[in-house]
Amino acid sequence: MNENNSTKLDRFLWTLSGFKSSIISSCGIDKFHAKIISVLLIIVGLYAALAWTFFFQTFSESIYIPVLAGLFMGFFIIAFDRALISSLSSGKTNYFSLGFRFLLAILLGVFLSQPMILKFYQPEISREVEILADKKVAERKVELAALYKTELENLESQKTTLQTQIDDTQNLLSAAESDFKIEMDGSGGTGKYGYSTVAKQKEKILRRYEQDFNSIRQANIPKIEAIQTQIDDFNNKISSEIGLYQSENNVFGTLIQAEALKAIIDNDASGTLKFRFYLLSLILILIELSALIAKMLFKMESYKGKVSLIEMEEVKTIENEKEILLTKMDELKTLRLESEVALQKQYFENAKEVNDSKLAEHLQSWKTDGEGTAKQYWNSFKDKLTLERNF
């Protein structure tokens, strides 16, 4: 089947796989191999588009951006693989580009396998994410407490000092009140019952402590309340920042899910999850490389031979055209040189009589003038009648 007998689908598949349809159409088995490679290339492109779309949608709320990014990556993978297959088909393998493609496949396989594992193990990941989120909230509380620790400790110290003053005065008041009572009932002190002289003195002491207690209490209570208000403000600020942190991290992103996946893998004693992760990465790598692997399995010597023959013919044609062009240029150069030399020779032959006449006039002028040296007339002669300074 030649190119005229091939269908549009055949030519499309051949072109997609990096083969020239006018050449591959005359290669018996190779054109069948080219179709297989093109189908694999389409599968690789669709896989890349879907995988990258899935990856981008993990952190984008819009559906359009992941789809466009996925289509772009799929087109890029097809274009790059097509260029490599085309170079392999012509027999001129660029090992640097091939190595780059293998490295890219490995990186993409490992990179894209992570979001797939996250999707496959979503329930386990969600539970682990909640645990990590609680830990992060607790760590955030510790950070905020450490941030306001100095201010809170200072306020608590002031509050404690003021409250201690009140408590100490109250203790003195309670002791004075107890001392007055036992003096009045005769159970202590002087042992006298009733409102005696000693009882009156103790009553005065009691009244003085009451005044001191009321005075200190009136002075310190507003200060304690103001300090407590400041403490409450700091605690409310910490609580509001914790609430804001929780609300901002309510929707768990890719990073915390990846951290949860790592924690699950580390805690998986059976190693099942780790094995599946590596196995999935290997499968994705092989899918990425399937078109190139198929191309390397198919030798396609017939196509390579025809491409090599065409290139040799083109190179030989270019060399022949170059040789013809250079020969023409050399011949033209020779003819031009001969023509110019002949014209110059004819010029000097025809100008001989004029030169003789001009020379005679120049010498006669020197003879009749009588002025000027021989050197001056010689220089004048060279300027007017010779071409010495023009060469």
Report percent pLDDT > 90 for the chain. 1
Could you give phi then psi for residue 91, rounded to 5 degrees? 85, 5
Per-residue pLDDT of 191-212, as tens digits, reads 566 666 666 777 788 788 788 8
Verdict on whether the full-model pTM lies above 0.85: no
Q: Does residue 328 carry a pLDDT above 50?
A: yes
Q: Does residue 391 carry a pLDDT above 50?
A: no
Report percent pLDDT > 70 for the chain. 84
Lowest-confidence region among 227-236, 246-255, 268-277, 325-334: 246-255
For residue 101, what pLDDT is reported?
75
Per-residue pLDDT of 346-376, as tens digits, reads 877 777 777 778 777 777 777 777 666 777 7
Q: Does residue 37 carry a pLDDT above 50?
A: yes
User: What's the average model confidence in pLDDT over 330-343?
Assistant: 87
Q: Does residue 387 carry a pLDDT above 80?
A: no
Across all residues in the chain, what is the average pLDDT? 77
For residue 229, what pLDDT is reported?
87
Lowest-confidence region among 69-83, 88-102, 241-255, 318-332: 241-255
For residue 85, what pLDDT is reported?
77
User: What's the average model confidence in pLDDT over 157-185?
Assistant: 81
Give residue for tokens 């000097």: 348
Per-residue pLDDT of 249-282, as tens digits, reads 554 555 667 777 777 777 777 777 778 878 888 8
Q: Does residue 110 carry a pLDDT above 60?
A: yes
For residue 183, what pLDDT is reported?
67
For residue 123, what pLDDT is reported?
74
Cα 284 from Cα 48, distance rounded (Å): 10
For residue 93, what pLDDT is reported?
62
Instruction: Choose from 49-58, 193-202, 242-251, 313-322 the range with maximum mean pLDDT.
Output: 313-322
Query: Maximum distance among all alpha carbons in the chain?
Result: 174
For residue 233, what pLDDT is reported?
84
Question: Which pLDDT band holds residue 96 (cuts at 50, 70, 90)?
Answer: confident
Question: Which pLDDT band holds residue 185 (cuts at 50, 70, 90)?
Answer: low
Q: Does residue 177 carry a pLDDT above 80?
A: no
Lowest-confidence region among 62-71, 163-172, 180-189: 180-189
Cα 138 from Cα 5, distance rounded (Å): 74
